[in-house]
Amino acid sequence: MTATLLEKDADKNISDDNDRTPLSYAAENGHHSIVEILSKGGSDSINLGAKHTGETALMLAAQNGHETIVELLLKVPYIRMGVRGRGGDTAFLRAIRGTHQRTALLLIDKGADVNAVNKKYETALQMAVRNGNPNLVELLLGKGADVNMKADRGWTALKEAKKQGHLEIVQILISSGADTEEAVEDAVETGQREMVKLLIENNADFNENYGAALGHAVEMQYRDIVELLLQNNVDINANDRDALQMAASRGYREIIELLIQYNVDIKGDDGRTLQFAARSGHREIVELLIQNGADVNGNHVGVLHCAIERGHHEIVKLLTELKNAQASVQNSDGETEPMLS
C-alpha cells in the first residue's frame, strides 16, 4: 500500500499537526518494510523532530529496540545521530533508557557519545545503573564510559547503584575504578550493611574524613554496622574519639559497650567523654565509663561541675560517693564550687 501511494506521488515528507511524519510512525512501530520504502533515496524529514517532543524517527526506533530499523536508518544519507529531543536525549540515550543493549551497541559502533548527558544531566551509565542492568553497565564501561563522571544531582554511577541497592553493579563499578569515598558514607548513613560489607571487601577506606563513617553508624545506632566496621579495623579513636563521645552524649549504652569491647581509649581523653555523659544526664553511662577507667579528674571542666550545672542530681550523688572524685571543681570563671553531698 505504501509503495502504491508513493507511486501515485504521495508526499512521504508530509507531517501532521505534531510534525510527525509517516517515517517516524513506521520507525516507532517497528514496520521495517515501510521504513525501508520511505527512507529509500533519502528523506528530507529524516532528522525532523516532533513538535512537542523533538523525537526523530531514529530516536523512536532506538527507544523501542527496533534494531534492524535503527541499522537501516543509519544508512540513510544525512542521518544525524546527535539530534536531541526536548529532554536532551539522543537516540543512543533512548536506547539505554529502554535497556536495548544491541541497539545501543549498534549506535556506539557508529560513533554515539557514551558520555553524553541530557538536560537532566543523566548519563547513559547512570540510566543503565538505575535500570539494574549489569550487562549494559559492563558494555558502557567497556566502550569508554567515565565511571566517575558526576551528572544528575552531582551523583556518580556508584552512588546511584548504592541507592538502588544493586550489589552486583556496585562490584562492577568498583572493579572499573569507581571512587568509593561518597559511597562509603552513604552506605553507612542509610544502614545498608551488605553494601558496607561489599565496600570493605573491595578495600574502600572507611577511615576517610576523620572516621566519619564510624561516627555516622554510631549516630544512627546501627549496631551491626558499627561492629562490622570495628571487625575490619576501622580507627575506633578517630577524630579524638568522636564515636565514643557521640554515644556517651546520647546515652547509647549498647554502642558504648561494643566500643569498649573493641578497646576504645576511654582513659586518654582527659575525661571529655565522661563530661559529655554527665552534661546530658546519662547516669548509667557515667557509671559505665568510670568502671572502665574514665578520668573523673580530667584537665578540662570537671565532670562534677557539668552535672551540677545541668542539675543532674543522681550523677552528682554518684560522683560524690566515688573516692577519686574531686573535692571541688573550678568553673570557667576561676571560682570554686564546693562538692555537693
70 by Cβ neighbours in 10 Å (0-12 / 13-18 / 19+) ranks as: buried
Greater confidence, 297 or 217? 217
In terms of average pLDDT, the best of 33-47, 145-159, 299-313, 317-331 is 145-159
Best CA proximity match to 332, nearest among 283, 287, 275 = 275
Tens of pLDDT, residues 50-86: 666 788 899 999 999 999 999 999 988 888 898 898 8
Best CA proximity match to 276, nearest among 286, 268, 266, 267 = 286
pLDDT over 90 percentage in the chain: 59
Q: What is the mean pLDDT of residues 245-274?
A: 93
What is the C-alpha separation between 255 and 176, in angstroms, rounded?
36
pLDDT at 114 over 80: yes
Greater confidence, 255 or 295? 255
The C-alpha cell that represents 183 in the structure block: 559511597
On average, the pLDDT of the chain sits at 86
Asked which of 80-94, 113-127, 256-270, 325-339 is least confident by mean pLDDT, the reply is: 325-339
When pLDDT is cut at 50, 70 and 90, the band that residue 340 belongs to is: very low
Q: What is the mean pLDDT of residues 299-304?
A: 71
Tens of pLDDT, residues 16-40: 566 778 888 999 999 999 988 888 7
Q: How far is CA 319 from CA 190, 229, 305, 329, in A?
A: 38, 34, 10, 12
CA-based R_g, the chain, Å: 32
Greater confidence, 192 or 302? 192
What domains, with CATH codes, occur in the chain? 1-113 (1.25.40.20), 180-265 (1.25.40.20), 266-341 (1.25.40.20)
Give the pLDDT score at 17.
65
Q: Facing residues of 328 across strands?
A: 338
123 secondary structure, DSSP code: B
Tens of pLDDT, residues 53-63: 788 899 999 99
Q: Which parts of the chain are beta strand (E)?
A: 328-330, 336-338
330 secondary structure, DSSP code: E
